[in-house]
Chains A and B, each alone.
Chain A
């Protein structure tokens, strides 16, 4: 049963992946005018446009073009980026660790803060923590990420000087880049034994992570609070209390474990949000990740690069949702046995 339902779940992600590939293909063909002109770039003449048209197979019928597109994807080819002159895939792979490091730190910040906040808010309704929780949720829903990021930069860099200049991952004037092992600077600097550079990289990460994480924090805290309130109001918690179990046991072993499923299920939405807002945050902090790469590609009308970025984000999101599903199955056996 276990491995079978696991297979079903993994197979359930396949239609989404197919849909994603079809949509990215359609988007690239929806470019106004002649796509060959776009892919050839602004410096192209009639001859090079024709060359691009043939090399992309744009003179063929749509179904043929689609088959070609899928075959290219199967070979790991996303085309060449005009702005860097390199294969899009290489560009993305090179920049992905920067984005992942930022997103993971933001997620960590959000979860570490939001879950205890939500639990405490539910345990003591109308207390100070509860009001704090609600205020954070309201603020998190009303502030644009990019605006808060800019306010933080103004406050903590320009006025207070607590953080280094928000440009990039490491100030290479003061620190030397560690040799790339994982691509995560926090890990690579430690592997190189360079504590100074580690501190430098961490300092650069603080502000972008908090700005990004603040907005993941709001939905997680709200969900934790709601799920905990439901769990605390249920019969089994009343019974546990009546049996004289300690507050701690009731709160964590009984209520929290049951609330966990709801919390894990909101993570899908949180990831959608994080991957989207990442683009805005990278833009504000000059972060050399895939998001800022996509923005400069959009501005330069470098469509192959934009398409590659969208495909990468969508595939990542489908896989993250799959992971959320599998974790939910691990936490709650009822989810596992449902069809």
Chain B
């Protein structure tokens, strides 16, 4: 089932919910920041300037400057690449791995199903943010490990969903027909079953993006993963937090605002996509 989005479908969906159109505009802005942002920003995001430390927003520095005199607007824009990059790669990886594991479990059943199910149960036995903390602390403090931790804590959601969907379809007539035609298990899964469960899985993934961003930002807020002087929203909020008692609000409000905007946008897009693909689940 090839899901091509036709213009008419888009207009229909946006007509129902204008918020989705707003979300799409924010999304375009964020993606633009991530791709061409570093080339457009007015100042070098890493350049320190001791003469202009903690300056409030002005015509020169729209979002003000931080404790090292770096331009906050430039840093917020440049950070989009790292923040979105972490979230997108984490979500895509957990989608791929979770779907594979879940599909195998649901199709094979038996021992493998039990084993994979037990692994998912064990992950879910932890408060997820705490497990992510533990994984990053154990594997080492790096951006790659934030992504790995986010993938691991997300796996059960995709895996269980894929398992249930495959399990329903395993004995359906079209799968039976494919089996009679002499297709092997792998081919049946890849060619016949997975394409059918992909649209709802994609909805799940887009609804998951916001959460992945929050998770990564939360980890870097407590000092895990991203290291200074890298520009990243979570760590910028954390650095700005020290100036709260002297009233330099712009140091944490702008990066935090960017974080909220991104999460809000992905949540709305996820809702919009769900309405388009699976109207029954609309709330």
Contacts and interface: CB of A to CB of B under 8 A. Distances in A.
Is chain B found bound to chain A in the same assembly? yes
Interface of A: 15-17, 19-20, 22-24, 27-28, 30-32, 138, 141-147, 150-151, 153-154, 158, 165, 226, 271-273, 275-277, 279-280, 283-284, 294-295, 298-299, 303, 306-307, 309-310, 313-314, 317-318, 321
B137 A141 contact: no
Given A144-B260, A158-B244, A15 B221 contact: no
Interface residues of B, number: 42
B272 to A, nearest CB: 13
B185 interface: no
29 contacts: A19-B121, A22-B122, A24-B134, A27-B135, A28-B138, A30-B138, A32-B139, A138-B267, A141-B210, A142-B210, A146-B218, A146-B221, A147-B252, A147-B259, A158-B244, A271-B127, A273-B129, A277-B129, A280-B218, A283-B221, A283-B222, A284-B241, A294-B133, A298-B137, A306-B133, A309-B130, A310-B133, A313-B126, A314-B130
B283 A307 contact: no
A154 B240 CA distance: 12
Interface of B: 118, 121-122, 125-131, 133-135, 137-140, 210, 214, 217-218, 221-224, 234, 237-238, 241, 244-245, 247, 249, 252-253, 256, 259-260, 263-264, 267, 283
Contacts, number: 134
A88 B129 CA distance: 21
Given A24-B134, A27-B134, A30-B139, A147 B129 contact: no
Contacts of B263: 141-144
A144 B256 contact: yes
Contacts of A272: 127-128
Most B C-beta atoms less than 10 A away, residue of A151, A283, A294, A298: A298
A146 B237 contact: yes
A144 B259 contact: yes
B237 A19 contact: no
